[in-house]
Structure 1
Amino acid sequence: MENSKIEFRNVSFRYQEDMPWVLKNVSFTISADEWVAIIGHNGSGKSTIAKLMNGLLFPQEGEIYVNGQKVSRETIWDVREKVGMVFQNPDNQFVGTTVRDDVAFGMENHGMPRELMLERIETSLAAVGMQGYEEQEPHRLSGGQKQRVAIASVLAVSPKYIILDEATAMLDPKGRKEILKTVLEVQEQRNLCLVTITHDLLEVTQADRVMVMNEGEVWLEASPREVFSKQEQLQEIGLDTPFITKLADELKAAGISLTREPLNHQELLEELWTLRSTM
């Protein structure tokens, strides 16, 4: 579909009239078949972007479109069928007394028939590896399990776009890796668009495209490789780079030339192996 995208057109937003602008004249497009990571220092506007996409907030200036439909108070329920959101703290999303109730909640709001709800509860929990937990109380689950249920609750509504707003931030490295693996598997199975707002640099290196926010503006849109090649500029706006990027920079400073910016250990090893074989 030609209109399968999220589009921000000259969007500006502030939380109160006497407060500074959090977003300033922001424009970008996210296609329905890509994974975009949004990064930026605290206060750069990235979480505000997520809430605007989902109709939790509305801009004072500019317009937002989801699949050609303008996001407004009149269209938010249509928009939320297309754009699902998983927050940093899953406890903030739980409303049901059991996992089943919680996954059903969003579908009930959309008035889905009971038969479809029962089917989607089953398939959504299976998709995130939480089948068999239907009668569990959400607050008794581990952090990773809670986040899986939160993702299942979003999947049940069957959105085209899923936004993860720091959704792995409260998990340990193993938990982060598992949740990301789960989300990527679901994305591939269901052909979803994924938007991740994150501080996890390993997560960023795997995205198709990175949008860097700075002071409420889009500072850069590029591939992860191109973004992390700008190590000095990123540090100037308060952002870190992956350990591999730093190591590659040290190697370059020592006179070892690499043909491309490595994003992970494997790519760096391949670069060094190729270099060694030509010596």
Structure 2
Amino acid sequence: MSYFIEFRDVSFRYREDQPWVLKDVSFNVQSDEWLAIIGHNGSGKSTIAKLMNGLLLPQKGEILVDGVQVTEDTIWEIRKKVGMVFQNPDNQFVGTTVKDDVAFGMENHGLPRKLMVERIQTSLAAVGMNDYEAHEPHRLSGGQKQRVAIASVLAVAPQLIILDEATAMLDPKGRLEIMETIRNVQEDQDLSLLTITHDLQEVVKADRVIVMNQGSKWLEGTPRDVFSEKDKLRNIGLDTPFVTKLAAELSAAGLPIQREPLNHQELLEDLWTLHSKM
């Protein structure tokens, strides 16, 4: 099987006199897959994102993006394929209008003007911001700013989008809207998606989850598999979704919940099934 992203025994530290931030980390990302990475602050999550985008280079091991090794000579080729949306969208804005900002990345890549005009319209439409072309980015709401940041990345037509705590500054409603937007865009454009987050409601929607702990890949599996390891997660200080905790309490009280529910709908379905059998 070929993978879009390959980390092969990657280690990284920011200075030689400091401990390793990543230690022999290996994992793959498939095309069209949504991978979530979780872990404490300092566990290496954001460092992985920066390595994947060529903002950092590993001291040990190698990283391949679409079969191309990430090196100083290939980073501009890599960045055409891997786009990144950061926690604070204000840090990504460079244009005086939304239209200018979406155009900026394409200009850096030397795209023809006609293609740029088309992509500005299609990328803004994809995130529901096509009526805001002439607006100043800094006057938008937090959720609108993040939508524009996503549109700016989409316009370059990457094959993978990294969201590095991209919803952390939003309220719950804003987080839900952004993640729904991202899911729709991923499905429409066949993108790979990597989310680095503390929001467990984002994690349960992913196809696969990697748990980082002290610079190493500590656990990997589907969201259901990962959150079924409640005691292990608790031992390293990580939380589980509320519905998972509730299901555990119900099981302890004598209700035989058969699976690890990931949302309220699944838990209600399980409870209704149990009720029907009584």
Instruction: Calculate the TM-score normalised by the size of structure 2.
Output: 0.98
In the alignment, the residues of structure 2 paired with residue 3 and residue 206 of structure 1 have an alpha-carbon distance, to the nearest angstrom, of: 24
CA deviation string 1:47-89 (max 9, x = no partner): 1101110001111111000000001111111101110100000
Tell me how far 1:3 sits from its aligned partner: 4.1
CA deviation string 1:139-174 (max 9, x = no partner): 111100100000000000000000000000000000
SS in 2 for 1:207: coil
The within-5 A match list for 1:58-207 is 58-207=57-206
Residue 50 of structure 1 corresponds to 49
Larger deviation, residues 253-262 vs 191-200: 253-262
Q: Which amino acid aligns with 2:274?
A: L
In the alignment, the residues of structure 1 paired with residue 206 and residue 180 of structure 2 have an alpha-carbon distance, to the nearest angstrom, of: 13
Tell me how far 1:190 sits from its aligned partner: 0.2
Residue 28 of structure 2 corresponds to 29
Tell me how far 1:188 sits from its aligned partner: 0.6
SS in 1 for 2:204: helix
Tell me how far 1:236 sits from its aligned partner: 1.0
SS in 2 for 1:95: coil
In the alignment, the residues of structure 2 paired with residue 182 and residue 100 of structure 1 have an alpha-carbon distance, to the nearest angstrom, of: 19
In the alignment, the residues of structure 2 paired with residue 96 and residue 87 of structure 1 have an alpha-carbon distance, to the nearest angstrom, of: 17
CA contact (8 A) 2:39 2:45 kept: yes
In the alignment, the residues of structure 1 paired with residue 83 and residue 192 of structure 2 have an alpha-carbon distance, to the nearest angstrom, of: 10
In the alignment, the residues of structure 1 paired with residue 70 and residue 108 of structure 2 have an alpha-carbon distance, to the nearest angstrom, of: 18
In the alignment, the residues of structure 2 paired with residue 35 and residue 192 of structure 1 have an alpha-carbon distance, to the nearest angstrom, of: 9
Residue 262 of structure 2 corresponds to 263
Tell me how far 1:4 sits from its aligned partner: 4.6
In the alignment, the residues of structure 2 paired with residue 74 and residue 22 of structure 1 have an alpha-carbon distance, to the nearest angstrom, of: 24
In the alignment, the residues of structure 1 paired with residue 84 and residue 178 of structure 2 have an alpha-carbon distance, to the nearest angstrom, of: 15
Tell me how far 1:137 sits from its aligned partner: 1.0
- Misfit runs of 4+, over 6 Å: none
Tell me how far 1:45 sits from its aligned partner: 0.4
CA contact (8 A) 2:10 2:25 kept: yes
Residue 230 of structure 2 corresponds to 231
In the alignment, the residues of structure 2 paired with residue 4 and residue 230 of structure 1 have an alpha-carbon distance, to the nearest angstrom, of: 27
Question: How many corresponding residue pairs?
Answer: 278
SS in 2 for 1:181: helix
In the alignment, the residues of structure 2 paired with residue 3 and residue 69 of structure 1 have an alpha-carbon distance, to the nearest angstrom, of: 12
In the alignment, the residues of structure 1 paired with residue 234 and residue 42 of structure 2 have an alpha-carbon distance, to the nearest angstrom, of: 16
Tell me how far 1:203 sits from its aligned partner: 0.8
SS in 2 for 1:206: coil
CA contact (8 A) 2:86 2:165 kept: yes
In the alignment, the residues of structure 2 paired with residue 136 and residue 277 of structure 1 have an alpha-carbon distance, to the nearest angstrom, of: 55
Tell me how far 1:278 sits from its aligned partner: 1.1
Residue identity (%): 73
Tell me how far 1:97 sits from its aligned partner: 1.2
Q: Which amino acid aligns with 1:28?
A: F
In the alignment, the residues of structure 2 paired with residue 272 and residue 144 of structure 1 have an alpha-carbon distance, to the nearest angstrom, of: 35
In the alignment, the residues of structure 2 paired with residue 205 and residue 261 of structure 1 have an alpha-carbon distance, to the nearest angstrom, of: 11
SS in 2 for 1:81: helix
CA deviation string 1:71-120 (max 9, x = no partner): 11111111011101000000011111111111011111111111111110
CA contact (8 A) 2:32 2:186 kept: no
SS in 2 for 1:195: strand
Q: Which amino acid aligns with 1:5?
A: F
Q: Which amino acid aligns with 2:203?
A: V
In the alignment, the residues of structure 2 paired with residue 144 and residue 96 of structure 1 have an alpha-carbon distance, to the nearest angstrom, of: 18
Let me know the Cα RMSD of the aligned residues. 0.9
In the alignment, the residues of structure 2 paired with residue 46 and residue 77 of structure 1 have an alpha-carbon distance, to the nearest angstrom, of: 22
In the alignment, the residues of structure 1 paired with residue 75 and residue 135 of structure 2 have an alpha-carbon distance, to the nearest angstrom, of: 31
In the alignment, the residues of structure 2 paired with residue 161 and residue 12 of structure 1 have an alpha-carbon distance, to the nearest angstrom, of: 22
In the alignment, the residues of structure 2 paired with residue 104 and residue 238 of structure 1 have an alpha-carbon distance, to the nearest angstrom, of: 42
CA deviation string 1:228-272 (max 9, x = no partner): 111111011121000001001111111211111111111111111
